[in-house]
Structure 1
Amino acid sequence: MAYATQQNMADRYGDDQLLIVADRDNDSVVDAAVIEQALLDASAEIDTYVAAKYALPLSTVPTVLTRLCVDISMYRLAADRDIATEERRKRYEDAVYLLRRIATGEVSLGIQTPPPSSNGAVVVTSQARRFGRGKKLL
């Protein structure tokens, strides 16, 4: 599941910018499959960081992840077309920087985190033995 939609991208960057980066067959129509794949790729990249602190899939998508997904997708689409600008590169780098901070716990997504896991060892405690060698039965 992608953290953003084509409409989120259009809202942030505009239809003209989407047309520039995602019209692969030059028919003056945004190729929805290209956008969808870019959003899925960006979401997978985001998951690699978010999974360090949160159980996936997330029950809700924080707004910040939608923004990061859009920025990462736009940068990658522009880079594929050889039209990546300094601004897009900076937005991508800022997104990765924030994701690293989320992964270390320095920044929170504001959602519930799972309880810390143990090392897998099971410890069983019980009362002292009641029967055994050397013990008399009453």
Structure 2
Amino acid sequence: MSYCTQQDLIDRFSEDEMISLTDHAGIGKINTDVLNRAISDAKGEIDGYLGGRFSLPIHPVPELLEHRACDIARYYLYDDNATLHITERYKNAVKFLEGVASGKNSIGIDSAAPNRPAITRPRCKAVAMYSTAKRRASSDVCGCYIRNPIEHELGIKGCAQ
């Protein structure tokens, strides 16, 4: 699911602009392949910023996010010919997304990710079978997450033992 659609781009920036940016063959119509690639690229960039805080894809799409997605997709459509105004809109969208990623800005939805499974790491006990009579698994000592008892004994990877 994308954060903006072809119609969103037309509504915000005009059909004529979308034709001029996508119609490389000169037939006078929007090339949906070109437009959809820009929309997909915008989605990928947005997901890169929001993936750490939200369960993706975000649905329904908040208007704040749709607006930024349109600005990013439009910037991609301009390629190397973006004007200063369009580049500024893109930079502002990225700045906004960085703020959302850091928790300074909001897109109007809860940042909790209820659909995201909890990430757990196996505790050191998983290596207990590698222990010898002289060497105990690190979890028996401190409960850390270092899986290799030799690394644990040598203090590698920052165990506080």
Q: Same fold (TM over 0.5)?
A: yes
TM-score range, shorter chain: 0.7 to 0.9
Query: 2:72: which partner in 1?
Result: 72
Query: 2:158: which partner in 1?
Result: none
Query: 2:95: which partner in 1?
Result: 97
Determine the C-alpha separation between the residues in 2 that align with 1:29 and 1:118.
47
Ranked by relative contact order (alpha carbons within 8 Å, sequence separation 6 or more), the top structure is 1
Identity of aligned residues (%): 33
Determine the C-alpha separation between the residues in 1 that align with 2:64 and 2:113.
23
Task: Kindly provide the amino acid, as one letter, of the partner of residue 88 in structure 1.
Answer: I
Alpha-carbon RMSD across the aligned residues, in angstroms, is: 1.9
Give aligned pairs, total.
120
- Once superposed, which parts of structure 1, at least 4 consecutive aligned residues long, lie more than 3 Å away? 115-122
Residue 112 of structure 1 and its aligned partner are, at CA, apart by: 2.2
Query: 1:136: which partner in 2?
Result: none
Query: 2:20: which partner in 1?
Result: 20
Residue 115 of structure 1 and its aligned partner are, at CA, apart by: 6.3
Task: Kindly provide the amino acid, as one letter, of the partner of residue 43 in structure 2.
Answer: S
Determine the C-alpha separation between the residues in 2 that align with 1:105 and 1:98.
10
Show structure 1 runs of 5+ residues with no match.
Answer: 123-138
Query: 2:37: which partner in 1?
Result: 37
Task: Kindly provide the amino acid, as one letter, of the partner of residue 51 in structure 1.
Answer: G
Q: How does 1:55-66 map to 2 (within 5 A)?
A: 55-66=55-66
Residue 75 of structure 1 and its aligned partner are, at CA, apart by: 0.7
Q: Is the Cα contact below 8 Å between 1:52 and 1:104 reproduced in 2?
A: no
Q: TM-score, normalised by structure 2?
A: 0.68
Question: Greater helix percent: which structure?
Answer: 2
Residue 120 of structure 1 and its aligned partner are, at CA, apart by: 4.0
Residue 67 of structure 1 and its aligned partner are, at CA, apart by: 0.8
Q: Is the Cα contact below 8 Å between 2:55 and 2:113 reproduced in 1?
A: no
Determine the C-alpha separation between the residues in 1 that align with 2:40 and 2:7.
14
Query: 1:113: which partner in 2?
Result: 111
Q: TM-score, normalised by structure 1?
A: 0.79
